[in-house]
Structure 1
Amino acid sequence: MAVSLFSTVFMAGAALAAPDDGATLGEIQVTVVGKKGPSVIGGGSIGIDEIRQQDRANVGEALNLAAGVSLSKVGGRNEQMIYLRGFDLRQVPIYVDGIPVYVPYDGYVDLARFSTFDLARIDIAKGFSSSLYGANTLGGAINLISRRPAKALEGELGGALLFSNKGGILGQQIYANAGTNRGDWYLQAGASYSNQDNYPLPSSFVAGKAEDGGGRDNSTQHDHKINLKFGYTPNAGDEYVLNYINQHGVKDVPPYTGKIATARYWQWPYWDKESLYFLSKTRFGEHTLKLRAYYDTFKNSLSQYTDGSYSVLATGGSAPSYYDDFTTGLSIQDDIRLSADNQLQLAFNSKTDVHREHVLAQPVQTDRDRTQVLAIEDTHSFGERWSLATGLSYQRASVLAAQNYVAASRTMSDFPTDSTSAVNGQIGLNYALGDAGAVHASVARKSRFATIKDRYSFRMGTAIPNPGLRAEKANHVELGYSGRVLPQWTLGATLFHSEISNLIQSTAISSSVSQQQNVGKVVVDGLETELRGGAGKVELGANYTLMNRSNRSNANRLIDTPRHKLFGYVNWKAGDGWTLNGSVDANSQRYSSSNGLQVVSGFAVANAKAGYRFANGLQVEAGVRNLFDRLYAYSEGFPEAGRSCFVQFNRAL
């Protein structure tokens, strides 16, 4: 759906049995260990308490809480995306415990399919990110850190119901987490299920030929997920973890309702991901050897229909199509403690992506890529105030196989293959202002390799493949401050500047045919500010992003990012178990098409809820999303959900 209203409301209050939020094997951060303990350079996190408080049940909406992040929607595919300081998900990959989980074919992933119920936090690196992540972190990296139990027995159970203004049930959801930590081993398990029949359109929506208003047409979605983790910790320095995640999704695509583009009638009968990975660390004197090995699969099916009745399937190249992809990978890392103030990290990453697709009654075409990275990172603290981090990596991407189905002869041919490489480097400096805060500065050079789709897609007959695409490049500069300005108030402010070259952009070859080429030059300048604090029983917080993206290569508009973005909230602990919460998300206008014809107006959407926690720990909440029934959109022609109500609960086991 265009806005996952169902997912935004189906989060209960803060977990009563909070997971261990300390260091885990899944972390990949630039961390300096000095005389006052560890400090992270160039990174930030969104904790599970904040995610729960703001009712963000999927990863995209949770990330939208952060400054510098713009939520976006690919309406024609019903995919939830984000832009991080103007960089999309191909350029800011998603990881789960340090394991890459983006789709091999195009580098994207639908964030609405990733729930937050089993997470401890989300780590975000902007521009300056650890060299140990591997390839394609052009604009940063996002790492979903899963739960790790801290107690002998802990767990929670939660669920919710979503209602329309008229009281009809729109959907339901249930989730559970349980864990045990026995000292030398631990076990964590999580499961969730959500169902949405549709979502309500605002009352001010004007009906058109593809949508009559009321409940949004073709907006059903279902998701369920299990997450199982077993860890063995024989001593304080060693840890071995085996994790299995299985996600199954079904989603429909609400049709386009505008007047510029053509409506498509699509449904995904399944959208499934499955991950199995092994993480370990073993200490040998001053060395800590870390391993990451993983096998990740992605399968989906797309059904295209001839009209809004969804009864007649399209044929030919638009007949039902299928993806059956998998990724294998291995990372070997050695952390060397050279002194009490210095740590050197060496790593080798190898990742092989296999994409297999076919249209009904046609043969399977296969593409295979391999990406390898050698990385070195050094962190050093100087006294009690100065910290320095440097990183360098050599990255190489090789096309091992690329096939093309020739419809005229019903045969398979081979595209030419190619290899490309890139060298990345960065340096970050941090200065502690006593106990009140810190100032940081960083410079980074990053890259991204072209995806299979970038190089080989005909884009439904409108494009010419370009196997020789080179890596995109970006130079980042950042200066920031964070710290306490009053006893109960903290302030953060960051200035950032990015210059992107070799950007892969669509270039017209004729009036009807284009090609992806390394012609783009973009400059991004911005400011991020964040203020948090409280007075008595009232907690307040807000962040604001000002960002200007300038296309220096042609007159095309840069899409899906507003110039201004604001998020704010107030949380009042009213006493006797009662809590009241209100929040607002505001965005200025944005473009949905590079020619500037499709424009989305600015908006501000308010939410409110009230909750009560009983003496036995049960928390019950009720609230309203889109309180004023605002008609708004992230993508032109794909209106978001109107006002709806919810009730939800959470109980520690």
Structure 2
Amino acid sequence: MVRKLSFVVATTLFSGTLLANETINLGQIDIFEKSNTDSKFKSNEISAEEMELQNKNSVLEALNTISGLNTYGYGARGEQTVSIRGFSARHAPVFIDGIAINLPVEGYVDLSNYMTFNLDKIQVTKGLSSPLLGINTFAGAINLVTKRPTKELEGTLSTGVFNGKGRKSYLNLATNQGLYYVQASGSIMERDYYPMSSDFKSNSNQDNKKRVNSYKNDQNINLKVGFTPNETDEYAFNYINQKTDKGMPVDVNTNGKKGNPYRQWPYSNKESFYFLSNTNFDLGYIKSRVFYDKYEDSMNFFKDSSYTQLKFDATPYDASTKGISLELGQFDTLRNSLKLALHAKQDVQKEDDSGKINRNKMNYFSIGLENTFRVTDDFRVIAGASWDKDDVKEANNKKPDIYYGAEFEHTSHSSFNPMIKVEYDIDDSFSTYAGVAKKTRFASLKEKYSYKFNSYIPNPELKPEQTINYEIGANKLYENQGIKAVLFYSDVKDYIQSEEIDKTNEISQNKNIGKVKHMGYELEYFYAFENNLDFDASYTRLLTKNKEVNKDTGKKDLITDAPKHKIALSATYRPIKALMANVNMQFSSSRHTDSKSNAKDVSSAAIWNAKIAYELVKGLTWDIGASNIFDKNYEYSYGYPESGRVVYTNMTYKF
């Protein structure tokens, strides 16, 4: 019998048998890689236990352990997120319990602001994502699944400290009374600064002690109430309140004269209300998600590094997203299962520019169909398609000029995205699959309409980017180990890239001028030794190619934030029941951060982390550890060094 690793949580399939016999977390999304063998690997899922084991406090840190994903940053904005197989965060929506949370204007989300303490798992789908997920799943999708209680009374209380005058505390309390359940959680994580690596060479902007303007405060409250009238039906309301305020460390190479480098986020808040349901019928089910998200933030720009005098008035940002998603599914009938999904969403953004209110409004609609036909018990064909549409309803121009009037042109685009995938289980331990999918990404409001501090001319005519994703994979389990391999290839056209249209004033514009290819492979391996030692590793090889020559430079633009090599390792040893030690490492090779020049390439880095935990008495655990234990000086964005060594300790009680 295959020995299961302690961190493995099997991804489940919405088949008739499962729906009839067990309750599935409403927050999960459909992921194609669902075979019994594939579910043993971490390439599509990381559990709460594994995140705690490796002390991954933020979603950003957790995702960096998954093959094909790489952390990168938006430099001066102080934001960080992940790429999937070399594609930016705009190409892979982030969901909470199946509800997209990407910011309306930017089209991405700062994952360093999202903590893992209230999560049950993180799901990741790449390349061949389901057409049921909605718009913009160009490279894949990321889903944060919040906790759901299973016991009459359960909870976690934890507190800890770390370098940089850092503190963290979180509390989870929950009850499941059969007919209903309640889950409440809250967390605070804050620091005054993060320490610099001792290898960093000090300059006029930054010493090698404390990162200037790197304070950060994160707070989160989550309340979930659910009603379960029977074994299959479930109805839940979830409320999330998230607040962040933080400094934005400057480019250590800045002269302070270009790009307004001295910035802070006095607040960046998000409030979410949503309702989830699953109702079973004789032949199928209907799932619903109704949601409303409210975003508020403001960015302050200062005259100099003293951060005492504002350079100009702050620009408060107010946005909201509301919508509904429905999924209607048929249980297996004569080896066939059919699912239909409908998504409707509206994004509204308001910006206060010195008393003048500018608004943007965008509607999105998607209808997806997916059919699974089981030719035999071991051979499945999955085919489907989605029809996606965006529709601009309002687009105020805050700077009417010779190019555009007071209102930008309202545009609308639609796209048909078919896919097909075949799965074959050679035996109970050996599975294979292959598939192809067309995917589309609509341009974000910022890409269409932003002037970017007078360095860009808007382009309301931006078309959707399109890709054909090809993928083939196999995984094999042995008695206490497993190996998985995936080959992928993406052929992209209408890629959005900037083109300089006014060389004298250095003015650029986004255009659909790119044709690129992303290709590579992912390898994953795990081994469960007999002496309570678990080991897992993954390797990603990524090759990218820009097929178009930039008319401004006469050269092909470089593809940024797409390192050629990515390695993730983790080893966990449990010599006795109460004692655990973990060592993990994430490596990424050098990368381009400027599409026009390799002068701003950042070097490769291997970041090692370690943790020891001991259960003092039943339920009470003390741990101590360090991230970046070798104090490596490294960057994800040129000029923005990451934290040096951070030592931490925590006390956690679970019941």
- 8 A contact 1:32–1:389 mirrored in 2: no
Corresponding pairs, count: 625
Task: Decide which of 209, 218, 224 is 1:229's aligned counterpart.
Answer: 224
Counterparts in 2 of 1:257 and 1:618: CA distance versus 1, 3 Å: same
Q: Which residue of 2 aligns with 1:619?
A: 621
* SS of residue paired to 1:23: coil
In structure 1, distance between residues paired with 2:651 and 2:76: 34
User: Which residue of structure 2 aligns with residue 93 of structure 1?
Assistant: 93
Identity %: 34
- Which residue of structure 1 lines up, in the alignment, with residue 206 of structure 2? 211
SS of the residue corresponding to residue 398 of structure 2 reads strand
Distance 1:470 1:570 in 2: 46
Query: What pairs with 1:52-131 in structure 2 (closer than 5 Å)?
Result: 52-131=52-131
**How many Å apart are 1:22 and its aligned residue?**
6.7
Correspondence for 1:513 among 487, 490, 507: 507
Write out per-residue CA displacement over residues 626-650 of structure 1, whole angstroms, 9 at most, x where no aligned residue: 1111111111111111122111122
| Aligned equivalents of 1:576, 1:419: Cα separation in 2 | 60
Select 2:650's aligned residue among 638, 641, 648: 648
Q: Does the CA contact (< 8 Å) of 2:151 and 2:176 recur in 1?
A: yes
Q: Distance in 2 between matches of 1:300 and 1:590?
A: 31
Alignment of 1:221-300 (within 5 A): 221-258=216-253, 262=258, 264-300=261-297
Tell me if 1:451 matches 2:444: yes
- Whether 2:348 is the aligned partner of 1:354: answer yes
TM-score (norm. length: structure 2): 0.92
Mapped contact 2:239–2:274 kept (Cα < 8 A)? yes
Residue 582 of structure 2: aligned partner:
581
Helix, strand or coil for the counterpart of 1:247?
Answer: strand
Q: In 1, are the aligned partners of 2:517 and 2:544 still within 8 Å (CA)?
A: yes
Shift of 1:260: 8.8
Say if 2:432 and 2:475, in contact at 8 Å, map to a contact too. Answer: yes
- Aligned residue for 2:546? 551
Shift of 1:30: 4.3
Distance 2:622 2:225 in 1: 32
User: Once the 2 structures are TM-superposed, how far is the Cα of residue 482 of structure 1 from its aligned partner?
Assistant: 1.5
**Structure 1 counterpart of 2:567, one-letter code:** L
Note closer, same or farther for the CA distance 1:54–1:30 as it changes in structure 2 (3 Å cut).
Answer: closer
Equivalent position amino acid for 2:481 in 1: W
Give 1:204 deviation, angstroms. Answer: 1.7
- How far is the alpha carbon of 1:565 from its aligned partner? 0.9
Partner of 1:387: 380
1:186/1:37 CA distance change after superposition, 3 Å:
farther
Measure the CA separation in 2 of the matches of 1:39 and 1:564: 24
Query: What amino acid sits opposite 1:429 in the alignment?
Result: V
Aligned partner of 1:314 among 311, 314, 326 = 311
Look up the SS of the partner of 1:62 in the other structure: helix
Aligned equivalent of 1:198, options 178, 193, 212: 193
512, 515, 518: which is aligned to 1:524? Answer: 518
The range that moved more, 433-442 or 248-257, is 433-442
The amino acid that maps onto 1:443 is: V
TM-aligned CA deviation for residue 186 of structure 1: 0.9
Give distance in 1, aligned partners of 2:359 and 2:77. Answer: 23
2:357 paired residue number = 364
* Paired position in structure 2 for 1:303: 300
Q: Distance in 2 between matches of 1:33 and 1:22?
A: 17
**Contact residue 31 and residue 379 of structure 1 kept, 8 A:** no
Deviation string 1:255-282 (CA, Å, 9 cap, x unpaired) is 1112699571100000101110011122
Match of 1:176 among 171, 177, 188: 171
Question: Which amino acid in structure 1 is aligned with residue 578 of structure 2?
Answer: G
In 1: Cα distance, 2:38 partner to 2:327 partner:
19
Take 1:518 and 1:408, find their aligned partners in 2: how far apart are those partners?
23
Conservation of the 8 A alpha-carbon contact between 2:199 and 2:208: no
Deviations 1:148-197 (A, max 9, x none): 1111111111121103xxxxx62100011111111111111111001111
Structure 2: how far apart are the matches of 1:478 and 1:30? 14
Q: Check whether the contact 1:42–1:129 (CA below 8 A) recurs between aligned residues.
A: no
Post-superposition Cα deviations, 1:492-550, rounded to whole Å, max 9, x if no partner, equal: 11111011111111111121111111111110111101111122121111111110111
Task: Report the Cα distance in structure 2 between the residues aligned to 1:546 and 1:457, rounded to whole angstroms.
Answer: 35
**Cα offset, 1:416, TM superposition:** 1.0
Task: Tell me the distance in 2 between the aligned counterparts of 1:43 and 1:379.
Answer: 23
1:98-131 deviation line (CA, Å, top 9, x unaligned): 1011100010110011111111111111011111
Q: Secondary structure at the match of 1:559?
A: coil
Please name the residue that 1:323 is paired with: 317
> Distance in 1 between the 2:650 and 2:476 partners?
35
Letter in 1 for 2:65: L
Output the CA distance in 2 between the equivalents of 1:183 and 1:47.
24
What does residue 480 of structure 1 align with?
473
- 1:238 & 1:194 partners in 2: Cα distance? 36
Tell me the secondary structure at the aligned position of residue 468 of structure 2.
strand
SS at structure 2 position matched to 1:391: strand
Q: Could you tell me whether the CA contact under 8 Å between 2:43 and 2:67 is conserved in 1?
A: no
Partner of 2:151: 151
1:8 is aligned to: none
SS at match of 1:597: helix
Preserved contact between residue 160 and residue 647 of structure 1 (Cα < 8 Å): yes
Change in 2 beyond 3 A, CA 1:39/1:284: farther
SS in 2 for 1:641: coil
Match in the other structure for 1:166: none
* Separation in structure 2 between the aligned mates of residue 260 and residue 289 of structure 1, nearest angstrom: 58
Corresponding residue SS for 1:453: helix
**Is this contact kept in 2: 1:628–1:643, CA < 8 A?**
yes
CA distance in 2, matches of 1:236, 1:22: 7
- In 2, Cα distance between equivalents of 1:268 and 1:98: 28
Which amino acid counterpart does residue 577 of structure 1 have in structure 2?
A: A
